Amino acid sequence: MSGTLVLVRHGQSDWNLKNLFTGWRDPDLTELGVEEAKAGGKALADYGIKFDIAFTSDLVRAQRTCQFVLDAVGQSSLETIRDQALNERDYGDLSGLNKDDAREKWGEEQVHIWRRSYDIPPPGGESLRDTGARVWPYYLTEILPRVLSGQKVLVAAHGNSLRSLVMVLDRLSKEQILKLNLATGVPMVYKLNANSTVASKEVLGDMSGAH
């Protein structure tokens, strides 16, 4: 068996709370989001893991979540690599809009297609497939080699960038990944085999409230 890969979705952001399409915009965590990040960190501390390196996105909500997790496991100063390859899906023209207003402008069915189809992007934005097209190469070149060398790696990122990874790790179909929602602040602990397949997966918390 090789190393360990831990995925954590950032805690609730201000725009999550306001029901806005966020994408590459950069709102901070809410108080609840801070608590979710700290709870995820505590779950990992209780699990007993120590990391060799951390990765996060170019957006502050993921960076702060990453830091809260590292603080909780007693590794506040651990080397952390930030890269926009791990950013949330870009919602393009939807970014900053209230989801109800978007439905009023484009129609509920069209907005649903943009949100829940695999390969149809909103105007000026990315589909889930587009998101995966930047997440997967980064994972293969920067993250996976470290895990396969035996390191314990933390990735704190976003709902859609992490769904792209989970799709590959869990070998999910396009239809299955569209139904998958990840809870904020709940760590997923993957142990990988030497051939990069998953040896085991543990979810340290409750995914039932995922959105």
| 98 among annotated binding-site residues | no
Is the torsion defined by CA of 114, 117, 120, 125 positive or negative?
positive
Return the bridge partners of 7, or none: 155, 188
| 61 among annotated binding-site residues | yes
Q: Is 112 annotated in the active site?
A: no
Q: Is 88 annotated in the active site?
A: yes
| 64 among annotated binding-site residues | no
Q: What angle (nearest 5°) sits at the alpha carbon of residue 59, between those of residues 196 and 124?
A: 90
Query: Of residues 10, 36, 126, 158, which has the active-site annotation?
Result: 10
| 13 among annotated binding-site residues | yes
Query: Of residues 31, 36, 79, 88, which has the active-site annotation?
Result: 88
| 15 among annotated binding-site residues | yes
| 82 among annotated binding-site residues | no
| 211 among annotated binding-site residues | no
| 16 among annotated binding-site residues | yes
Q: Which residues are annotated as a binding site for substrate?
A: 9-16, 22-23, 61, 88-91, 99, 115-116, 159-160
Catalytic residue annotation: 10, 88
Point out the annotated binding site. Answer: 9-16, 22-23, 61, 88-91, 99, 115-116, 159-160
